[in-house]
Structure 1
């Protein structure tokens, strides 16, 4: 395999094909509407086969928005410390990163137009966010299970249930931003936004404790 910089030639070609399919799908949807934007038309405009399309996207709606399978970066996960006082913050930021990994493409203005014109596309985006949360739950459960301070059952619940509760709490700042006035779904939650909502969460924790 030929190496080109930090990415292989195969990886670069895959990225180029993904972008070509996404650009074709988004452009066709804006020009013709979703109903008239078929997988056949997307593949033809991108210069690939329909079979190739399904190697990259499960449905045309995912291609239109530029959705991809979320993933947990091992390096990012390795920086999460179960013994740290700011574990909740770390999990919240990990959740944000994994959620953002599900959205590709470099044209938020076009994504904004698509979401405004076809609100039903938001459902497909939310499905990817649920997948991202599930991935983070699984990853955090592994970290807790490997830490003796966390692996012992708490109130009858093991690491899997504990991780699920932790991730749900860590997701509150993200949901706070998602439902705030002025939130831009095309850009998603930004690191600075998350910092301020985390500060509010900790303020409430102190007030309620």
Structure 2
């Protein structure tokens, strides 16, 4: 699987900068004043954008805090990952190795920033309802990942995806992979430098050692 990052153009960099400014504004204001005391107008002024621009990026202040739902990867990479099951034979490590590559690429594409993640983490601790919404998005991500793993196993084994044993195996693989990603995120947030995708790759390298 390829791992070449495409550098964004000027328009995309401006878009990302605006999204970041809005996110930093809502997070910093909510931590300072309390989430319920912050309005979209307050956020827009802090981010130096109009309320209309705010709503071009986020549907609500809650969405601005929670950010985009996590994505596994683009469709082409997912299909490449699934098709890779035809060539792995009985290699016990191939599935996790390829899954690590897929999730590392997705981590790069997400372009997270430590400052945003750290502020969000502080705020979610203070607001249970926001934490529940964040957890719901993570569960949706986990379910989407499991379906991808299940399709890979179906190709690899020739067993239909409806088979309970195959679904159970896909669920186990997904839980292990998800734990590795969470471990990578936690380490990345605590460090001063390094790309998130490198932490994800290292987590899966360490996982390979553990399960050897």
Q: Residues 69 and 102 of structure 1 are in contact (CA less than 8 Å); yes or no, is this contact kept in structure 2?
A: no
Q: How does 1:80-119 map to 2 (within 5 A)?
A: 81-82=84-85, 83-84=87-88, 85=91, 86-90=93-97, 92-93=99-100, 94-95=102-103, 98=106, 104-107=112-115, 108-119=117-128
Match of 1:170 among 171, 174, 183: 174
In structure 2, the residue matched to 1:130 is 139
Q: How far apart are the structure 2 equivalents of 1:172 and 1:26?
A: 31
Greater RCO structure (CA 8 Å; 6+ sep): 2
TM-score for both structures, normalised by structure 1: 0.64
Distance 1:165 1:30, change over 3 A: same
In structure 2, the residue matched to 1:44 is 45
The CA RMSD measured in Å over matched residues stands at 4.0
In structure 1, the residue matched to 2:70 is 70
Distance 1:8 1:177, change over 3 A: closer
Question: Which sits farther off after the overlay, 104-113 or 20-29?
Answer: 104-113
Distance 1:162 1:195, change over 3 A: same
In structure 1, the residue matched to 2:54 is 53
What are structure 1's unaligned runs of at least 5 residues?
Answer: 204-209
What are structure 2's unaligned runs of at least 5 residues?
Answer: 1-5, 191-195
SS in 2 for 1:20: helix
Instruction: Give the paired residue count.
Output: 189
Question: Which sits farther off after the overlay, 37-46 or 117-126?
Answer: 117-126
Q: How far apart are the structure 2 equivalents of 1:103 and 1:62?
A: 17
Q: How far apart are the structure 2 equivalents of 1:42 and 1:169?
A: 41
TM-score for both structures, normalised by structure 2: 0.64
How many Å apart are 1:63 and its aligned residue? 1.8
Q: Residues 89 and 170 of structure 1 are in contact (CA less than 8 Å); yes or no, is this contact kept in structure 2?
A: no
How many Å apart are 1:173 and its aligned residue? 4.7
- Which structure shows the bigger proportion of residues in helix conformation? 2
